[in-house]
Amino acid sequence: MAASLKQTLANRLNALRSTGPKSTEGKTRSSRNAQTHGLSRVGLHPPAAMAEAIAERQSLWRTDYHPTGSAQEWHFDRLVAESVRLDLCEARICASRAERATRASESWDDDQAAAIAQRAATLSQRPEIIQPVLLQTKHGVLWLLERWDEILESLQRLDGWTPETWNLALDLLGVPTSARDASGPWDLHPDDSSAAPGLDLVAQSTAALRDRLDTFLNARDDRARTDACLGLDADDPPALRLLERYAADARRRFSFFLNGLRRLQSEAPALTSASPPAGPPSPRPVRSALPPEPSPTPAAFDRSQPSPPPAAAGRLPMPSQPSPPIAGERVAEGRVRGSDHLDAPVNPAPTPAPASNSAPSAAPTAPSTRLPGGSLASTVRDRLDARALSLNRRARRARAASARRS
């Protein structure tokens, strides 16, 4: 039934009156309503005992780790918080195991019987699953023996089976509910409708269960009880397993923050040494004023113009060294090296005209410029001399070896 408009308005007005705590202390308390122990994570507002332990450990460990800078302080604070969380988790785990060991020595049989009764409550719904589980423990077999005793008492009192006792017997035998169609006590012995076949079934079942107890279940239960008294119980409760998981998480986070702090501290000296010194910047270094190397002029590549003399090129003259003859090279006498049949000079150079008597003798004479129509020998000689000056010793040797091979 939908609420009326009047009821809806009344509900909204009542909701405005109850807005929860308004003070900071009340909000802090209400935020911890679902908190059990506060060990799942170190939050912004840890419990008072944990916050006090964290502050105390920070003051004790600061002289050991020496954090400097905001980044190292951040790692150090979380490292300390996770170490306190890990200690509290381990303390609770130890206390829980000690309590379980004490309880096992005091009421082992009662606790096991209660656990078996809780598990056997669903036997009628899933007998094919629950019955094999009950057969694996001493207290489970004892529970089955008690149920067979109830069936025996019913058979003796009523002198036969009832639907309830028959279904209970099938549950104790682990027969699924789907396999019970059209079944009944007559399946035991079709010609005998008395309680005798039922009594034989009860006797056989109880004998098998007691033999199972004497064979290995009693010894297994004694070993489990001894381990539980020592705190070595394999079946930990969910709360204890959760604490183990919190402790493992705190251990991992502690290692993470510790490695981060060590990495920052190892990088700190390198950053300090690599930082530039304080003070005004130094002036830029002045390059040495060396004379630039002259680049070859277009005249050096012009075959129509003779090469300039070494002094005009701006380089120091290289020492003259005898070089092997090159094929086709003409000597100063106008002969070609490497050819014996040429003895006469080819196109001898014309003799320059003497200077006129009117020119002063003290004036320096300008170097004669060879024209394109000059002698072939002088042109080739001048070009080879300029090329020899531009080559180093290794290049000249390579050129000479190539000429000898050709």
178 found inside a domain = yes
The answer to whether residues 94 and 137 belong to one domain is: no
Q: Do the domain assignments include residue 198?
A: yes
- Averaged pLDDT for residues 326-350: 43
Nearest-angstrom CA–CA distance, 381 and 332: 7
Residues 173 and 131 sit within 8 Å (Cβ to Cβ): yes
Count CB-CB contacts under 10 A for residue 367.
11
Q: What is the pTM of this model?
A: 0.53
Do 97 and 201 share a domain, yes or no? Answer: no
Domain co-membership, 245 together with 210: no
Q: What is the pLDDT of residue 380?
A: 62
Residue 203 is predicted with a pLDDT of: 92
Q: pLDDT value at position 403?
A: 86
In terms of domains, do 81 and 176 share one? no
Which residue segment(s) compose the domain that 254 sits in? 38-106+236-269
**For residues 27 and 373, which has the higher predicted lDDT (pLDDT)?**
27
247 and 224 part of one domain: no
Greatest CA span in the chain, whole angstroms? Answer: 173
Query: How many structural domains comprise the chain?
Result: 2
Residue 260 has pLDDT above 90, yes or no: yes
Q: What is the mean pLDDT of residues 192-221?
A: 89
Cα 89–chain centre separation? 27
- The average pLDDT across 36-49 equals 80
Instruction: Tell me: do 85 and 175 sit in the same domain.
Output: no
- Residue 390's contacts (CB-CB under 8 Å, 6 or more residues apart) are 296
Q: What is the mean pLDDT of residues 144-163?
A: 91
* Count of CB atoms situated within 10 Å of the CB of 53: 19
Whether residues 99 and 245 share a domain: the answer is yes
Residue 288 domain flag? no
Please report the pLDDT score of residue 338 as a whole number. 42
Which is more confident, 181 or 306?
Answer: 181
Two structure tokens written together for 199: 């009594």
